[in-house]
Amino acid sequence: MVSYIWLFLILIGIGFSFLTGNLDTINDSILTNGNKALELMLSILPIIVLWTGIMKIAEESGLLKRFAKLVEPLLSKLFPTIPKDNKALGYIASNIAANMMGLGSAATPFGLKAMSELQKINEKKDTASTAMITFLVLNTAGVTIVPTTVLALRIAHGSANPSEIILPGVIATFCSSLGGLLLDYFIRKRRNNK
Amino acid sequence: MNTFSKIVIPVFIVFVIFYGFRKKINIYDAFLEGAKEGLLISFNIFPSIIAMVFAINVFLDSNFVNEFLGVLSPVLDIINIPLEIMPMALLRPISGTASLAIMNDIFINYGPDSYIGRLASVLQGCTDTTIYVLALYFSSIGVKKIRYSLGVGLFADLVGITVAFLITMLFF
């Protein structure tokens, strides 16, 4: 999928420049691209490193686990098909906690473990279960409170108030999750009634 | 309302560090260990950043967006949406790195505190890369029939992106 998008962007970009005779701009663009990538990398790297460091403290001190315990009752309502003491709920909770703190890459291992636990209680192994779908909706809607890379880039480009986007972001991400969960809920209900 | 945005991070950091200290773990060592992981993560995403920054810049510098999507701009003007944000909104669910590269470009051209800069920031933070996550998670356990998951995931993205536009207009 990403391959197609990549090909599309490059073909359109270079093809269109040829058609419009913009050869100088496109050569410039290709040759100076690397610098842009490096600058982008350098501006987000320190915050990613700082933040994974802080979150490691939260993990080792048991804070992440405690937070996960806190949201578990709520989760068991969202996932009626998962048995109450199943390990999947804990992994789902940890995945969401890590996502909230803007640690997408740290959230992934928890998410993969949650999926393999859900697969154990899945009846048709090649088909997604309802619990998996609900989990992925929650996951891709991405409830993020601290968007680390966005903050880092805003700082790097000299924003006067880098964190001003946090609250609007939280509202948008909350609506996105809610919308996804509601649609998921209605689909499940309609299928059960059939 | 702005104070919430400003205090979230400092309060959270103090809380986490102090909690770790009270639980008598070695907070400094834990930090270093996590930071090392963060460094590895960064190195692992570097190739995809190079790849996407390259493709996005070639695409944007060709002026294709302005020439072709330019016909849309009278409509977009009415609802106060800058044309330059459209490629980012479209690519957000497909590739997080691609939308990050566009956001970087917007910051370079307009600055992070411009209207479009703020819009890009909210957009980047508000949803995750649906298609990537679905592909990764389902293929890890060998599920092939993904049923209605893609539809619901993209619907959630659409809601998030719409709200991001509305909320940025209201806030700033």
Q: Is A125 on the interface with B (CB under 8 A)?
A: yes
At B145 the three-state DSSP class reads strand
Is pLDDT above 90 for A95? no
CB contact under 8 A, B155 and A179: yes
Q: Of B57, B141, B161, which is closest to A36 when you measure between CB atoms?
A: B57
- Per domain, the residue ranges of chain B are 46-171
CA-based nearest distance A105→chain B, Å: 7
A157 — pLDDT class (breaks 50, 70, 90): very high
B63 sits in the region (left: phi over 0; alpha: psi -120 to 50; else beta) called: left
CB contact under 8 A, A139 and B156: no
At A160 the three-state DSSP class reads coil
pLDDT for position A184: 94
Is pLDDT above 80 for B107? yes
B76 — pLDDT class (breaks 50, 70, 90): confident
| The two structure tokens encoding residue B36 | 């090392």
Q: Of B55, B125, B131, which is closest to A6 when you measure between CB atoms?
A: B55
Query: What are the tens digits of pLDDT across the range A62-84?
Result: 887 888 788 888 888 889 888 87
pLDDT for position A194: 58
CB-based contacts of A100, cutoff 8 Å, min separation 6: A143, A144, A145, A146
Residue among B147, B100, B154, B158 at smallest CA distance from B131: B154
The angle formed by the CA atoms of residues B108, B114 and B117, to the nearest 5 degrees, is: 60
Query: What are the tens digits of pLDDT across the range A105-114?
Result: 667 878 888 9
The angle formed by the CA atoms of residues B77, B79 and B80, to the nearest 5 degrees, is: 60
Is pLDDT above 70 for A38? yes
| The two structure tokens encoding residue B144 | 């092939």
DSSP state of A145: S
pLDDT for position A1: 61
Q: What percent of chain B has pLDDT over 90?
A: 38
pLDDT for position B133: 84
B36 — pLDDT class (breaks 50, 70, 90): very high
Query: What are the tens digits of pLDDT across the range B47-70?
Result: 888 888 898 888 888 888 877 777
| ipTM of this complex | 0.82
Is pLDDT above 60 for B122? yes
Q: What percent of chain A has pLDDT over 90?
A: 26
Inter-residue contact A177 to A141 (CB < 8 Å) = yes
Where is pLDDT greater, at B74 or A155? A155
Q: Name every chain B residue with its beta carbon within 8 A of the beta carbon of A49.
A: 35, 38-39, 42
Strand partners, B145: A127
Inter-residue contact B123 to B92 (CB < 8 Å) = yes
Burial of B69 (0-12, 13-18, 19+ CB in 10 A): middle
B21 — pLDDT class (breaks 50, 70, 90): very high
Q: Cα separation of A145 and A56, whole Å?
A: 17
Q: Is B28 on the interface with A (CB under 8 A)?
A: no
Residue among A44, A4, A34 at smallest CA distance from B54: A34
- Per domain, the residue ranges of chain A are 38-193
Q: Which of residues 59-88 of B touch A (CB under 8 A)?
A: 59-64, 67
